[in-house]
Amino acid sequence: MELLCETLKIGTANYFDYFCGMNTTHNFNPILSNLGISALNEMQEVSHDAIINENNVLLLSPTGSGKTLAFLLPLFELLQPEILSVQCLILVPSRELGLQIEQVWKKMGTGYKVNVCYGGHSIDTEIKNLSNPPAILIGTPGRIADHIDRGTFRLDKIQTLVLDEFDKSLQLGFHEQMSFVIGKLSKLNKRVLVSATSGIEIPKYTRVVNPLVLDFIPETKEENNLSLQMVISKERDKLMTLFQLICSLKSEAAIIFCNHRDAAERISDTLNEKGIYATYYHGGMDQEERERALIQFRNGSMSYLITTDLAARGLDIPEMKHVIHYHLPLKEEEFTHRNGRTARMLASGTAYLIVNESEKKLDYIDYSMPVLELSSSATLPKPPQFQTIYISGGKKNKLNKIDIVGFFSQKGKLEKGDLGLIEVKDFISFAAVKYNKVKDLLRLVKDEKMKGKKFKIEVARKVIKKEEDLFL
């Protein structure tokens, strides 16, 4: 907060007085009701007025604090219904973050169209969607640059630019693409940078000059409900230690972080061989594989997600009670983001650090934390209750969740409680079904039509390494 006050040249005591002179009376009740929340938090209130009234804003706020809504609400107020082309561009470092922002916007129920563009998605589908321009366009830097090259949407009405998790975009090397995109936006009058990390140097090509800094990152670590426990691995290869740790978690799901893609795959393969339902997730997978892995984890048909730091932020996955650091990250910021997957808000959670005495000690880790003693006699976790079912149709085929629920209930004879999470994509859908109901369901719907059309319905494939990789 001191950083903000320094920027504004006001005292901390006058912090909120400054904003009280702005339009702080908002009627967001319908939107908040749609989102299932009762009121904005302090950061969201302040961010709203700053973004409305200032041309350059840098918002710094911790993971899980509600930054997405903090900038989407003022964007909604800035949109002009008479303009029938893109008015706001949001650049994101990953497709997952883009889809998450899209989901929040749709839940808000604003009536304004939104589109997401990212690598691995059908460019033809995106071009078709852009032919009826959205008010808000979300995309990864590379894919947006591609669309600008193709001239698939107008640039002359884009007045607002948001760079969400821009520090991550910089880490991933998107400098050239971001510079190109921003250089083409000649009508910009408002720029918003958003990050969960402070101390990031703002590149000149962003043209963000003397931004109003909203710094909500606490200078001292606040007391939270996250507990840290160390797990000592006697062997340098930590796989057996990880296995024992998982067996001690009372069949509760967990995210397991490691530093390398090949490690994520190796860990997942080994755990599955031992009877543990795990899948992996990293940046080397194609988009369809990544999406399938996340869906299976979200719906509970896979209990353990082994991932690189790609999943540390920006992913639509449930909050976990358990986060496991198979490898420790080199930077404290990534450690914080990983731990942000648990103990949010008032919930409690535990982060486990698996360490071996041969490893180099990291400055940001307090190695005096409690040590968890593992039992070698712990039993295997219970298998998941659900299995993921694949359906070869989605939104573009005029299917929705209600259609799938009705079809599986009427034709598949599923009862209440037999059907779990359903996710409908553009051309495919996935549904979680109780394991003991899957066989009968597939038999009953084999020759049936849904909404007058026959769709392929089968057990979704597990994410496995490509055949050519198995022999490397």
| Sheet order of strands, 429-434 included | 419-424, 429-434, 386-391, 457-459
Return the structure tokens found at 130. 């852009």
Q: Which residue, 91, 215, 87, 216, is CA-closest to 162?
A: 91
Model confidence band, residue 117 (pLDDT cutoffs 50, 70, 90): very high
Q: Please tell me the least confidently modeled range out of 14-18, 137-141, 233-237.
A: 14-18
- Average pLDDT over every residue of 373-385: 88
Q: Which residue, 134, 141, 210, is CA-closest to 171?
A: 141
Would you say residue 20 has pLDDT above 80? no
Residue 38 sits at φ, ψ, to 5 deg, of -95, -30
Q: Please answer whether residues 463 and 292 qualify as being in contact, where contact means their C-beta atoms are separated by less than 8 angstroms.
A: yes
* Strand-strand pairing, 386-391 and 429-434: antiparallel
C-alpha 420 chain-centroid distance: 21
Task: Please state, in angstroms and as integers, the Cα–Cα distance from residue 310 to each residue in 97, 144, 212, 264, 315, following that order.
Answer: 11, 21, 29, 12, 9
- Average pLDDT over every residue of 182-199: 92
Q: What's the pLDDT at 119?
A: 87
- Average pLDDT over every residue of 323-337: 90
Please name the amino acid found at residue 426: D
Q: Which CATH class is domain 226-355?
A: alpha beta
- 79, exposed or middle or buried, with CB in 10 Å at 0-12, 13-18, 19+? middle
Q: Please tell me the least confidently modeled range out of 11-25, 124-138, 353-367.
A: 11-25
- 468, exposed or middle or buried, with CB in 10 Å at 0-12, 13-18, 19+? exposed
- 269, exposed or middle or buried, with CB in 10 Å at 0-12, 13-18, 19+? middle
Distance CA 177, CA 183 (A): 10
Between 64 and 164, residue with greater pLDDT = 164
DSSP string, 199-222: -PPPPGGG---SPEEEE-S-SSPP
**Domain ranges in the chain?**
2-215, 226-355, 386-459
For the stretch 270-322, pLDDT in tens is: 999 999 999 999 888 887 888 889 899 999 999 999 998 876 665 667 678 89
Beta-sheet strands, E only, within 68-142? 88-91, 114-117, 136-139
Percent of the chain with pLDDT over 90: 67
Q: Which CATH number fits domain 386-459: 3.40.1350.10, 3.40.50.300, 3.30.413.10, 3.30.70.330?
A: 3.30.70.330
Q: Please tell me whether residue 326 adopts helix, strand or coil conformation.
A: coil
Model confidence band, residue 168 (pLDDT cutoffs 50, 70, 90): confident
Model confidence band, residue 465 (pLDDT cutoffs 50, 70, 90): low
> Bridge-partner residues for 194, per DSSP?
59, 164
The dihedral through the CA atoms of 192, 146, 97, 334 has a sign that is negative
The dihedral through the CA atoms of 341, 344, 348, 350 has a sign that is positive
Distance CA 251, CA 244 (A): 12
- Average pLDDT over every residue of 162-191: 92
Q: Tell me which residue has tokens 């026959």.
A: 454
CB neighbour list of residue 359: distance below 8 Å, 6 or more residues apart? 328
Return the structure tokens found at 311. 């999943």
Distance CA 413, CA 207 (A): 59
Between 230 and 343, residue with greater pLDDT = 230
Between 22 and 196, residue with greater pLDDT = 196
Residue 114 sits at φ, ψ, to 5 deg, of -135, 145
Q: What's the pLDDT at 343?
A: 57
Would you say residue 432 has pLDDT above 80? yes
CATH topology of domain 2-215: Rossmann fold (3.40.50)
- Say if 2-215 and 226-355 have the same CATH topology: yes
Beta-sheet strands, E only, within 207-340? 212-215, 226-232, 254-257, 278-281, 304-307, 322-325
* Strand-strand pairing, 419-424 and 429-434: antiparallel
Mean pLDDT of the chain: 86
Q: Please answer whether residues 382 and 419 qualify as being in contact, where contact means their C-beta atoms are separated by less than 8 angstroms.
A: no
The half-sphere exposure of 121 on its side-chain side, counting CA atoms within 13 A, is 26
Distance CA 238, CA 226 (A): 23
Would you say residue 430 has pLDDT above 80? yes
